[in-house]
Each structure stands twice: as structure tokens, then as C-alpha cells.
A = this chain, B = another copy of it.
Amino acid sequence: MRVGILRSGGVGRVLSDGLAGAGHDVMLGTRDVGALLARPADGGESFSEWHEANPAIAIGSFADTAAHGEVVINATAGGASLEALRMADADNLAGKILIDVANPLDFSAGFPPTLTVANVDSLGEQIQRALPDTRVVKALNTVTAVLMVDPQRLAGGEHHLFVCGDDVDAKATVTRWLQQWFGWRHVVDLGGIEAARATEMYLALWTRTMRALGTPMFNVRVVPDAEG
């Protein structure tokens, strides 16, 4: 399957590794391909080093990537998502499923971050309003990137993911993909895209729990299990 991943930072890289490893035809989209490939290493390997080691993953502009994908994943930083999606072009996204994994985190006052939008609106809703012909499904934004693509790394996969979106068929499709692609067995359907408020606002608890545990490698299990 052709998957386009609009990226910023490590989340897109982890997702593209996971999806390319599962045999998908992945393009990773960025604002400026040349600048990304020229960027020096920031601690770990540089992007160009990673790219040389993963030649099967194409790199393109946001628009190229949106056009490439049969499904497109928004893995940009929440504060940059709406602009990245404008650059991706609504025409390239029309009729497609967009999986929104972004969180509208604002670190300008340090850690823990606040949200740029919360309570009476959400990034997921903003994206759906900006792209009325795209079927937005919010998912995966409640766990760290490594767990997104490998839930079995924690408690045998016995923990939960939450999805929401206005298009019921798109949501069912994404829920099936999450199982097929990554092995997610427990997915709670929270309702329409309005429920993006719920999973984005949960980041306030997620960030402080991460601080308390000293690791982002955790998730929550809903008890009793939603699936019985």
C-alpha cells in the first residue's frame, strides 16, 4: 500500500520504518527535502545517514507525499500541522483517509507543555474543518512513537489505543490497519472527530505521568477491557 507520511522529527521516521518494514511503499514528506538531507546529526544519526540505510523509503515535499499516499499520516508537530497540510494541498488529500497522530503541544514555556488548542476545539477538528473532503481519523497520538508501531513491546500488547473521526467507514478501516500494520488489539472508538479533544487533552496527563515514571514507554489499559 502507498503510504504518505508528513513528518517533522522522529515520529515520522519511526512510522516509516515500521510501515516500510511491513512491506508498504512509503514516502516521507518534509517542508524542504534539500535542507532535511543536509541537516547535521542531532545526537544520533543524521537524517541523510538514516536515509542511506533506508533507501526504500522515498523522500518528497509535503505535496509529493500527499499525492503519493493512498493513505496519508500527519506526523508533523501539532503547531505546524495546519501549515504543512496547506502545503500538502487539499486536492492531493481529497477523498483519502488522513490519520492524524499529531498533538498541539506548546513547549514555549517549558515542560510540561500546554496545548495550543483545547477544551472547546482540537487540532483534529481544525484539520477536519480545513480538509472537508478528507476523512480524518485521530489515532496513535496517545503513545510514544516506538509503541505506535510495536504495542507488543509493552505488557504483551494488553493496553489501549483510542480512535475518533466523523467517517465511520474510515475509522473502521484505520482500526483494521492498526491491527494489521502494528498489531494493535485494543482500540476504543470514542466517537466523532470532536473526541480529538479527549485524546489531545490526555497529553496533559501523559506528559506528567512520563515525568513521574521517568520513561515514555508506558500506556494505559482500560479496565474493564472495552473488548471484554
List residues of A whose CB falls within 8 A of some B CB. Answer: 112, 114-115, 118-120, 154-155, 158-159, 162, 164, 188-191, 195, 197-199, 201-202, 204-205, 207-209, 211-213, 217-224, 226
Contact = CB atoms under 8 A, between A and B. Distances in A.
B223 A220 contact: yes
15 contacts: A118-B119, A118-B201, A158-B223, A162-B205, A188-B213, A189-B212, A190-B205, A190-B209, A191-B212, A195-B208, A198-B207, A198-B209, A202-B205, A218-B223, A218-B224
The 4 nearest A-B residue pairs measured at CB: A220-B220, A198-B205, A201-B201, A155-B223
A interface: dominant SS: mixed
Given A191-B211, A191-B212, 11 more contacts: A154-B223, A155-B223, A188-B209, A188-B212, A198-B209, A201-B204, A201-B205, A218-B223, A220-B220, A220-B223, A221-B223
A204 B196 CA distance: 9
A155 to B, nearest CB: 4
A119 B112 CA distance: 11
Nearest to A109: B120
Given A154-B224, A212-B188, A221-B220, A202 B204 contact: yes
Q: Which of the listed residues A118, A120, A205, A222 has the most CB atoms from chain B within 10 Å of its own CB?
A: A205
A114 B117 CA distance: 13
Contact of A212 (B190, B199, B220, B221): B190
Contacts of A218: 222-224
Nearest to A213: B226
Contacts of A197: 204
A190 B204 CA distance: 11
Nearest to A215: B224
Nearest to A195: B208
